Amino acid sequence: MIDAHLHVVPPQIPGAGSLAPVLRLPPERVAGIVREELLSAGISRAFAMGEWCITGDDPLGVNRTLEIASHVPELSAVGVMDPTKDPADRDHFDRVATVMATGRVAALKGYLGYLHFETTHPTYRRYYELAERFDLPVIFHTGDTFSPYAKLKYAHPLTVDEVAVDHPGVRFVMAHLGNPWTLDAAEVIYKNVNVWADLSGIVIGEEHELTGPAAHAELVDSIDRVQKAIRYCGRPNRFLFGTDWPLVPMAAYREFITDIIPSDMHELVFRENAERLFRVK
């Protein structure tokens, strides 16, 4: 089982805070807790987002994620794109390319909405060119945000359609299925063969808020949106399991997704689609 979307460090994006106190613990403590969560959920591979903290020696904000990953072999790092950089900043993009060439990052992440830049911004396009060159996916935050300072117009899933068309050699992922605009996200997947969506963070909370009939009754609208989106786009090979840990317990969220998607999609969503997307051997 593969978790395509979790956090092991605070994302350092405006208004989002640390996501949870656990991410402020020393790296060794975080690593131990992550290992326990992965084991409890039966997850054998996971992809952890970096932080928007870009420096000369950390041009993709992954150094702290990689430090934790050094204690958790199942963990891979996702680099963060910084749209505030000048697209003509050759030094920065050379440093980015150098990191990508080492194989230390498994994908790139754009925090749409949290950072007030369109997917079509020239700086983002520089990252897409490198993603195609190194055969790495590009993951976008889409949908609702965890910050009052975010601007939702930048996080709408329809914004991904434009760059999916302009960059057909890049594999794009809409995190959170664009929730609550899940049907719009489904249309983007239906239309573009190079677009995926992960099912992380559709709902957040503790185990009792996610599992069982009573919890599902409370979450009926969220469940309905996901199920309609899956039926609409007709591409079961484009959905990925992800948790958005630490916003949810991994095992409970696995059970939640297991219950709401068709059983004939389980192998695809929980493993096979991510293997193809991330080129997992």
Say if residue 281's pLDDT is above 80: no
Q: Residue 114 to residues 63, 79, 117, 174, 208: CA-CA distances in angstroms? A: 21, 16, 9, 15, 29
Q: Are 190 and 235 in contact (CB under 8 A)?
A: yes
Distance CA 195, CA 218 (A): 30
Is beta strand 172-175 parallel, antiparallel or unpaired with respect to 138-141?
parallel
Provide the pLDDT for residue 150.
Answer: 96
Please give the average per-residue pLDDT across 109-131, as a whole number. 98
Q: Which residues contact 115 (CB under 8 A, 6 or more apart)?
A: 13, 14, 52, 83, 84, 154
> pLDDT for 170-201, tens place per residue?
999 999 999 999 999 999 999 999 999 999 99
Q: What is the pLDDT of residue 210?
A: 93
Residue with tokens 């948790």: 243
d(CA 72, CA 64): 13
Lowest mean pLDDT across 14-23, 57-66, 86-95: 14-23
Res 263: pLDDT:
97
Where are the chain's structural domains?
2-277
**How many residues appear in the chain?**
281
Question: What confidence tier does 144 reach under pLDDT thresholds 50, 70, 90?
Answer: very high
3-state SS class at 85: coil
pTM score > 0.85 for this model? yes
Q: Can you list the positions of beta strands (E) in the chain?
A: 2-7, 45-49, 75-80, 105-110, 138-141, 172-175, 195-198, 239-240
Confidence of residue 65 (pLDDT cuts 50, 70, 90): very high
Mean pLDDT of 124-134: 98
Residue 250 confidence class, pLDDT cut points 50, 70, 90: very high
Among the listed residues 78, 81, 72, 139, the one whose alpha carbon sits nearest the alpha carbon of residue 105: 78
Fold (topology level) of 2-277 = TIM Barrel (3.20.20)
- Interval 202-230 mean pLDDT: 94
Phi, psi of 6 (to 5 degrees): -150, 175
